[in-house]
Amino acid sequence: MDILVFGRSGQVATELAARAAPGLRITALGRDAADLETPGACAAAIRAHAPEAVINAAAFTAVDRAETEEETATRVNGAAPAEMAEACAARGIPFVHISTDYVFDGSGTAPWAPGDPTGPLGAYGRSKLAGEQGIAAAGGVHAILRTSWVFSAHGANFVKTMLRLSETRDALNVVEDQIGGPTPADAIAEACLAIAAGLRADPARGGVYHFSGAPDASWADFAREIFARAGRAVTVTGIPASDYPTPAARPHNSRMECAATEAAFGIARPDWREGLGRVLDRLDAVRPIPE
């Protein structure tokens, strides 16, 4: 299968590119080849490469900056994915798009199901929801995969931030009243490839799906596990999110119901603790922990 990936240096895009193999050609496009801020660039890239499926792993992910740059965030996260979906629909090929738990308002304690009402708290969530709506309106074969708390051995993420802080700190305050599923980027990449193949085999399986790591945890829980597995003597004190104000509000409840994803594609929730072990193994030779 010949897959075109939008995104080249991000966490999931990097993992996707690493999965090229005989019978699976993956072409990853960076901003120099397809600038998501430029209208028409994504559609032109799809026409030029003529792939058998497209995966969008590119996004404006600076959640706080989106509050002051919502127009740019909406172009990248909203208009560009819609344009990709329209181009894929015109060619009759499947489109897989990565979305986020931020499309929900984070209320309650029950896991969010794909069909639950959305209600973004801020600009980032609104921009991602706009993308979902544009993709659905394009009318082609597509899957929107909402995920959360992505981490890997590359790029900027919570694991690397915690490890970097542990180089100079022996105690940290970490938010304990936001709950979600940390998700390894390599598992998301595998899921996207499986979904793309599944949609080619059976286009009726398109729709909105959830995919997050298990078990659900707080950021403080996540940090404690990072330090325990990395052998770092850091004491983690759980604090409420109100003690750590940010420009953009974060969902308190990011639990996600992922049963439909497993039923449709045979993809179970990954154990994020195993994924964390893989990431720490890959980072073991890296000192200091990179930015």
> What would the pLDDT profile of 38-70 be if each residue is shown by its tens digit?
999 999 999 999 999 999 999 999 999 999 999
Determine, yes or no, domain membership for 166. Answer: no
Closest by Cα among 215, 223, 216, 213 to 190: 213
Q: Could you tell me the pTM of the whole model?
A: 0.95
Q: Residue 143 is part of which domain span?
A: 2-155+183-212+255-270
Catalytic residues: 124
Determine, yes or no, domain membership for 207. Answer: yes
Determine, yes or no, domain membership for 70. Answer: yes
- 142-147 β-sheet, strand order: 25-29, 2-6, 53-56, 95-100, 142-147, 207-210
Q: Residue 29 belongs to a domain with what CATH number? A: 3.40.50.720
Tally of domains in the chain? 1
Rounded Cα gap, residues 143 and 132, in angstroms:
10
Over the chain (291 residues), the average pLDDT of each successive run of 10 is 95 95 94 94 96 97 97 98 98 98 98 98 98 98 98 95 95 97 98 97 97 98 96 96 94 98 97 97 66 51
| One-letter amino acid of 73 | A
pLDDT the model gives residue 285: 45
Determine, yes or no, domain membership for 27. Answer: yes
Determine, yes or no, domain membership for 167. Answer: no
SS3 172: strand
Determine, yes or no, domain membership for 103. Answer: yes
Rounded Cα gap, residues 176 and 63, in angstroms:
19
pLDDT the model gives residue 284: 83
pLDDT the model gives residue 175: 97
Contacts for 58 with CB less than 8 Å, ≥ 6 apart: 6, 7, 10, 13, 36, 76, 80
pLDDT the model gives residue 57: 97
Determine, yes or no, domain membership for 278. Answer: no
Determine, yes or no, domain membership for 221. Answer: no
pLDDT the model gives residue 141: 98
pLDDT the model gives residue 289: 53
Rounded Cα gap, residues 59 and 5, in angstroms:
12
Dihedral of alpha carbons 94, 150, 182, 185, sign: positive
pLDDT the model gives residue 288: 55
